[in-house]
Structure 1
Amino acid sequence: MNLYQDERLPLILEELKRHQRITVEQICARFGVSRDTARRDLVKLEEQKVIIRTRGGAILPSAHQEVKGYHQRLETVSKEKKQIGEKAASFIHEGDRLILDTSTTVQALADFFPNVRCTIVTNSINLADLLSAKKHADIQLLGGKLEKKHRYLYGASVIERLRSYYVDKLFLGVVGISEHGLTIAHEEDGMVKRTMLQQAKQKIVLADHSKIGVTDYFKLADLSDIDVLITDRSPPYSFHQLLQQYGVELVITGEETEE
């Protein structure tokens, strides 16, 4: 494939966006160029500030986007999140003891919450309010310091109280899930989520496709710490392989469960 550099560069970027990283060897094989030419391509892309060069290749720079306030995020709850919420609700059964975290993806399951007797532990003000309409739901709202913008309770008192509960299932949202594990934007929220993971028999992560391959600021767990990932699109093959390696069940909305 004989292409000029200005023709190769956008194609290299496409490969990077698809796979999150690329090596010099992959560029050589893909475009039929020498290692020196591949390196020059990466230098040019680095000058344009669209990649970060690494030893032997390149990765995409992190997109440090501000996490919107809770009400802003509720206004933009996507069709994908609603589909994930509906699928997550099918995991809830009579007599379950549950922990529900504060993410809007987890809140999306409230619209589909089954009419069963269950116990819910949460630090989300909005979820507690929504689920209070469920006749058979016994709700334990964890008390602590109020994070006004994102509408959750956090702090030492929340973590201490959480450690008193042992539940059947946890439904957890994240900002990013990647080979580096589960990450979140705020450390105080991450510490609460980390404790939630310790208190549940089955850990179920809800994440739409935009969260897969993303690594944010604070790591709260490894992939090996979770049992199920519910998402709306099949992830890249390499990430799918990682999930299988760590024994994580992948559930894709509208598709059959994959082992």
Structure 2
Amino acid sequence: MVIFVQKERLDLILKTLQEKQTLTLKEIIELTDSSRDTARRDIVKLTENNLVERNYGGISLPNTFQKLDSYLQRSDDYVNAKKELAKRAAVFTNQATQVYLDVSTTVEFMPKYLTNSNLFAVTNSLDIADQLLRNSPCKTRILGGNLDAEKRCVTGTRPCLDLENYTFDYAFLSSVGIDEEGIYYAYDDDIDYKAKIRKQSKKLVLLLDSSKVNVKHNFKVLNLDQIDYIITNDNLPRKLENRLLKSKTQMIYI
């Protein structure tokens, strides 16, 4: 085991930040082979010297962490495109028995297009659960957890644990960005949560409006080859499309 003195740890953290832009506490612990308390002291030292900024569960270089607009602010963006994406995604549910609808201002439009009365739909979203009850004949369940007023969903470790009780025919989600490297999200708690959704789902469907293309964000959470279908409202850049073809991701244009 290599033992680092604090200066060596701080230099290593800063060097890695230049490459990755953000680091979670867990990543810092693994990078420096240190304890949680030591990693936290290093974060305090870097923050006090204005070398990094603290964010959700970790640190970033100053001014690099992007804060996502609130759920309600985003819900009014690209409404027509989101409705069309949701309508096309709903076709997958006609022969399905169990699906997952992830919190998303795009996926939120799906319930009104779900007509399969034998379908069982699970979600972590307060608004999607409400729409399912109001507009869909399918059975509905919302995962347990802490309620987040800004994200409009349940959060914490509980929903991630609850997912282990299900095997979904399809999981439907969106993202805040996609490029040739992968799929991006705003918060570090998406890292484990999206991985769990992938594990519990036979097929993963990404609803992607054109504003998210070639956009990087705070955390690359999924690789392109983890997505089975992408439904999008515009042609994708040639390089990205080629990478998706190599990943055997099927693209559906509307």
Number of residue pairs aligned between Structure 1 and Structure 2: 192
Distance (whole Å) between structure 2 residues aligned to residue 137 and residue 246 of structure 1: 33
Distance (whole Å) between structure 2 residues aligned to residue 191 and residue 149 of structure 1: 20
RMSD: 1.8
Shift of 1:178: 1.3
Distance (whole Å) between structure 1 residues aligned to residue 98 and residue 135 of structure 2: 15
Amino acid of the residue matched to residue 227 of structure 1? D
Kept in 1: contact 2:66–2:218 (CA 8 A):
no
Distance (whole Å) between structure 2 residues aligned to residue 223 and residue 95 of structure 1: 24
Residue pairs, 1:155-234, within 5 angstroms: 155-234=156-235
Question: In 2 relative to 1, CA 171–87 (structure 1 residues): closer, same or farther, beyond 3 Å?
Answer: same
Residue pairs, 1:19-34, within 5 angstroms: none
Residue pairs, 1:63-212, within 5 angstroms: 66-134=67-135, 136-212=137-213
Question: In 2 relative to 1, CA 214–63 (structure 1 residues): closer, same or farther, beyond 3 Å?
Answer: farther
Q: Please give the per-residue CA displacement for 1:89-146, whole angstroms capped at 9, x wherever unaligned.
A: 1111145210110011111222322243201111001100110124631111101122
Distance (whole Å) between structure 2 residues aligned to residue 202 and residue 220 of structure 1: 17
Q: Please give the per-residue CA displacement for 1:39-74, whole angstroms capped at 9, x wherever unaligned.
A: xxxxxxxxxxxxxxxxxxxxxxx9965422112222
Amino acid of the residue matched to residue 76 of structure 2? E
Helix, strand or coil at the partner of 1:102: coil
Aligned to 1:30: none
Shift of 1:153: 0.8
Q: Which runs of no fewer than 5 residues in structure 2 stay unpaired? A: 1-62
Helix, strand or coil at the partner of 2:165: coil
Distance (whole Å) between structure 1 residues aligned to residue 236 and residue 75 of structure 2: 25
Q: Which runs of no fewer than 5 residues in structure 1 stay unpaired? A: 1-61, 254-259
| TM superposition score normalised by structure 1 | 0.70
Distance (whole Å) between structure 2 residues aligned to residue 238 and residue 76 of structure 1: 27
Distance (whole Å) between structure 1 residues aligned to residue 192 and residue 211 of structure 2: 23
Aligned to 1:48: none
Distance (whole Å) between structure 1 residues aligned to residue 96 and residue 207 of structure 2: 22
Shift of 1:179: 1.5
Aligned to 2:8: none
Amino acid of the residue matched to residue 117 of structure 1? N
Amino acid of the residue matched to residue 167 of structure 1? F
If you compute each CA radius of gyration, which structure gives the higher value, 1 or 2?
Answer: 1
Amino acid of the residue matched to residue 119 of structure 1? F
Shift of 1:79: 1.4
- Which of structure 1's runs of 4+ aligned residues deviate more than 4 A? 62-65
Kept in 2: contact 1:154–1:192 (CA 8 A):
no
Kept in 1: contact 2:103–2:153 (CA 8 A):
yes
Question: In 2 relative to 1, CA 137–246 (structure 1 residues): closer, same or farther, beyond 3 Å?
Answer: same
Amino acid of the residue matched to residue 74 of structure 2? R
Shift of 1:198: 1.0
| TM superposition score normalised by structure 2 | 0.71
